[in-house]
């Protein structure tokens, strides 16, 4: 067993095959957007409370709410205050990036596959969809999160809503409970885990709770074939923790955890890995693959 992480892990053969057959879904988490300059959960909660002060709450009340360690609880309180007082939080402004701190999305957007994200921002803009109107490939309202959207390369599906429609955004504890108890989201996730190969990017240890919400949908599938991959950063000194988490994800969700070292450029290091994988992968659509199979069967017949 190595005591250090491979700084340049090879792209798993399962992802190569999935990209070539049009079956790859890249699932983007908040860790990727934070590299560009989007706020952390703490930053998001602070920005929302700042907009409520002093219009809805005073500075002492803001201080009391900010003393709560869980940013999602702070956001839940802020959302309740927003609705009770009839004010409108400028969520879009919170996630606007004027000067990106990283060009990581330049490489992510080269992936000619389907994207799913729990991020509210609109930084995923696949090159393959550049000639289409955004309404044709970006989906975020609950009624639009449908299984068939996973079958079109270049689609971007916001599982927790998007800043374009604040009402679609899953923010509070109640939002999460209702969202994952709906008929649409479990059906969507079950279909994805049963039929697609999924690569998770941007889910660090601080996103574990959200990641597990999502991965619960994989338990219903029971597939032996490994179709879930999680790229996650660790310091080399955390190798023991990585090995334990690797077993946990394997046994709980049949997912393979791929570690990269944070010792050199922290989370930015994954940009080099994503760039390398984007160069290695060849993408095709489900329709093209089906047509080729039909032609082969016709010739064999």
Question: 63: how many CB neighbours lie within 10 A of its CB?
Answer: 12
Q: Give the count of alpha carbons within 13 A of 100, CB side only.
A: 13
CA angle, 39 as apex, 38 and 44 as ends, to 5°? 135
User: What confidence tens digit (pLDDT) does each residue in 104-158 have?
Assistant: 999 999 999 999 999 999 999 999 999 999 999 999 999 999 999 999 999 999 9
- Banded pLDDT at 291 (limits 50, 70, 90): very low
Residue 53 has pLDDT above 90, yes or no: yes
Instruction: Decide if 151 contacts 110 (C-beta within 8 A).
Output: no
Residues in the chain, how many?
A: 301
Residue 300 has pLDDT above 60, yes or no: no
Q: What average pLDDT score do residues 23-41 get?
A: 94
Question: According to the model, what pLDDT value does residue 290 have?
Answer: 47
Backbone torsions φ then ψ of 109, nearest 5 degrees? -70, -10
- Banded pLDDT at 253 (limits 50, 70, 90): confident
Question: According to the model, what pLDDT value does residue 217 have?
Answer: 65
Question: According to the model, what pLDDT value does residue 33 have?
Answer: 94
Using the structure block, give the residue that is written with the tokens 């070292």.
Answer: 261
The alpha-helical segments, DSSP class H, found in 125-268 are 173-181, 184-195, 208-215, 239-253
Token digits for 231? 């790229």
Question: According to the model, what pLDDT value does residue 294 have?
Answer: 41
User: What confidence tens digit (pLDDT) does each residue in 74-85 have?
Assistant: 999 999 999 999
9 DSSP assignment: P
- Burial class of residue 131 in the structure, from the number of CB atoms within 10 Å of its CB (0-12 exposed, 13-18 middle, 19+ buried): exposed
Instruction: Decide if 275 contacts 107 (C-beta within 8 A).
Output: yes
Q: What average pLDDT score do residues 229-237 get?
A: 95
Residue 212 has pLDDT above 90, yes or no: no
User: Distance of CA 91 to CAs 48, 55, 68, Å?
Assistant: 8, 16, 21
Q: Which run of H or of E encompasses 64?
A: helix 59-66
Question: According to the model, what pLDDT value does residue 197 have?
Answer: 95
């Amino acid at each position: 067993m190595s005591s250090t992480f491979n700084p340049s892990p090879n792209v798993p053969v399962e992802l190569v095959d999935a990209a070539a057959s049009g079956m790859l879904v890249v699932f983007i988490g908040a860790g990727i957007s934070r590299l560009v300059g989007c706020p952390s959960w703490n930053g998001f909660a602070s920005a929302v409370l700042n907009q409520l002060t002093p219009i809805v709450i005073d500075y002492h009340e803001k201080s009391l709410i900010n003393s709560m360690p869980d940013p999602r609880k702070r956001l839940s309180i802020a959302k309740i205050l927003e609705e009770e007082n009839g004010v409108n939080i400028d969520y879009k402004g919170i996630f606007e990036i004027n000067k990106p701190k990283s060009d990581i999305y330049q490489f992510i957007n080269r992936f000619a596959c389907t994207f799913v994200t729990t991020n509210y921002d609109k930084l995923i803009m696949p090159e393959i969809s550049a000639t289409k109107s955004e309404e044709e490939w970006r989906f975020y309202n609950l009624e639009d999160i449908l299984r068939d959207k996973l079958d079109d390369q270049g689609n971007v599906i916001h599982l927790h809503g998007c800043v374009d429609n604040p009402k679609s955004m899953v923010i509070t504890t109640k939002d999460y409970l209702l969202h994952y108890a709906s008929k649409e989201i479990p059906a969507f996730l079950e279909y994805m885990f049963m039929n697609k190969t999924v690569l998770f990017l941007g889910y660090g240890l601080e996103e574990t709770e959200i990641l597990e919400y999502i991965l619960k949908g994989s338990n219903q599938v029971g597939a032996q074939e490994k179709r879930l991959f999680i790229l996650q950063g660790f310091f080399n000194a955390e190798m023991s923790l990585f090995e334990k988490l690797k077993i946990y994800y394997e046994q709980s969700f049949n997912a393979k955890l791929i570690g990269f070292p944070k010792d050199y450029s922290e989370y930015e290091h994954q940009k080099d890995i994503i760039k390398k994988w984007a160069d290695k992968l060849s993408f095709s659509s489900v329709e093209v693959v089906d047509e080729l199979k039909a032609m082969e069967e016709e010739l064999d017949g």
